[in-house]
């Protein structure tokens, strides 16, 4: 059976983990954490990249740093992972879901402004599949209404909007290094931002409410508990695993892109004949081949396709069940406007195997198996 996902592994991981252990520095903010952070800051042109224990935790930090609280509202898509919402629920904020655009599955920027009220504090766009949201429009709405923007770029690491790295356009960006993402450390993530006024608060929040980061930089001679905080810094052993991939980021990217382009080419005639729909990448987006999905006619067709692919030895998976239809979504939020595409298109979407190191014969098996569902 061809797996849907295999965690990225380049070969250097064991060596780097061994180094971290031998250097007797395995807690947070060691040498490998620094290498990863500096790499991100340079490549993504952002002032600060703080490694975290997950993207969920990066989102929690970002939500906290916006100052959003009970009675305030956050505008987000319903078609996303629950972590985007959880971070704001933790602050006591109310979720306001807005419909997606069917072409990219991203929040429809044209529907955001109508959902803004005097209580809105934050817009949280999600760059689905590493394809950028329409950030100029979103930032313009935020500016005109005095809102902050938290980008859920969990899937958008090393993807770009008009040349700017996803996650670096809004006030805060959140990355995931979970094993299902392009670069991994098992569980992990990062919060990135360029606002200097937020660095100290972010460091304190990440280090149990202490000013230990300043202490490590030699700026103060002892550290104390200065504010509320949690423990959001990952072990340097995890960072060592991640570093092995960031070093080879271009190779990982090219390999995933080759899979994406192969699927896209091979399935084009099926799309032209109307059997399925292929993903769309707007001109303003430079994606990172995080995902390859197809959209089928309806949910029963998708279920039949999943069974067919399994019988061909291919594991395919669907994705999010819209948050506003979930128990927690109903409890903590509301859907603003009409649900034209969120439910309908989430039920039609199917993700094909996509991971670093997928072999050419495996790519061919996937494409042939999709084809044989329609054409016998």
Ligand X SMILES: *Cc1c(COP(=O)(O)O)cnc(C)c1O
Binding site for ligand X (CB under 6 A): 54-56, 80-81, 83-84, 126, 152, 154-155, 176, 178, 189
| Of the candidates 186, 180, 189, 126, the residue with the CA atom closest to the CA atom of residue 353 | 180
- Report whether 305 contacts 277 (CB < 8 A): no
Distance CA 20, CA 27 (A): 9
Shortest distance (Å) from residue 128 CB to ligand X: 7
Shortest distance (Å) from residue 212 CB to ligand X: 24
Read off the tokens for 342: 């969120």
Nearest residue (CB) to ligand X, 206 versus 212: 206
Alpha helices in the chain (DSSP H): 13-22, 31-43, 55-66, 82-90, 109-115, 135-145, 199-206, 212-216, 236-246, 249-266, 268-272, 299-311, 327-332, 342-346, 360-374
Nearest residue (CB) to ligand X, 52 versus 369: 52
Nearest residue (CB) to ligand X, 30 versus 125: 125
For residue 202, give the H/E element and its range: helix 199-206
Nearest residue (CB) to ligand X, 168 versus 369: 168
Nearest residue (CB) to ligand X, 178 versus 295: 178
Shortest distance (Å) from residue 53 CB to ligand X: 8
Shortest distance (Å) from residue 350 CB to ligand X: 16
Nearest residue (CB) to ligand X, 13 versus 151: 151
Distance CA 245, CA 252 (A): 8
Please tell me what DSSP assigns to residue 122.
E
Shortest distance (Å) from residue 13 CB to ligand X: 18
Shortest distance (Å) from residue 153 CB to ligand X: 8
Distance CA 242, CA 259 (A): 22
């Amino acid at each position: 059976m061809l797996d849907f996902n295999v965690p990225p592994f380049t070969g250097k991981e064991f060596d780097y983990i061994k180094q971290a252990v031998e250097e007797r520095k395995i807690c947070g903010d060691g040498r490998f954490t620094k290498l990863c952070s500096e790499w991100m800051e340079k490549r993504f042109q952002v002032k600060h990249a703080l490694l975290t224990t997950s993207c969920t935790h990066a989102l929690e930090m970002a939500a906290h740093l916006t100052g959003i609280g009970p009675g305030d509202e956050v505008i987000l898509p319903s078609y996303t992972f629950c972590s985007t919402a959880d971070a704001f629920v933790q602050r006591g904020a109310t979720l306001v879901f807005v419909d997606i655009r069917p072409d990219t599955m991203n929040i429809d920027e044209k529907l955001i402004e109508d959902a803004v009220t005097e209580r809105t504090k934050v817009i949280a766009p999600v760059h689905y599949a590493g394809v950028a949201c329409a950030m100029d429009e979103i930032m313009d709405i935020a500016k005109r209404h005095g809102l902050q923007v938290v980008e859920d770029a969990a899937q958008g690491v090393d993807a770009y909007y008009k040349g700017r790295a996803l996650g670096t356009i809004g006030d805060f960006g959140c990355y995931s290094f979970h094993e299902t993402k392009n670069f991994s450390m098992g569980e992990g993530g990062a919060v990135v931002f360029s606002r200097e006024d937020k660095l100290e608060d972010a460091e304190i929040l990440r280090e149990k409410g202490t000013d230990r980061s300043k202490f490590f930089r030699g700026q103060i001679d002892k550290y104390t508990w200065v504010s509320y905080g949690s423990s959001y810094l990952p072990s340097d052993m995890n960072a060592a695993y991640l570093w092995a991939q960031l070093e080879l980021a271009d190779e990982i990217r090219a390999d995933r892109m080759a899979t994406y382009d192969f699927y896209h080419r091979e399935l084009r005639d099926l799309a032209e004949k109307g059997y399925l729909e292929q993903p769309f990448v707007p001109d303003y987006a430079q994606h990172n081949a995080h995902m390859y999905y197809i959209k089928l006619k309806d949910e029963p067709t998708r279920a039949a396709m999943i069974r067919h692919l399994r019988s061909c030895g291919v594991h395919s998976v669907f994705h999010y069940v819209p948050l506003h239809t979930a128990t927690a979504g109903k409890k903590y939020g509301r859907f603003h406007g009409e649900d034209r595409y969120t439910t309908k298109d989430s039920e039609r979407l199917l993700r094909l195997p996509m991971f670093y190191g997928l072999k050419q014969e495996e790519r061919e098996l996937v494409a042939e198996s999709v084809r044989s569902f329609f054409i016998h």
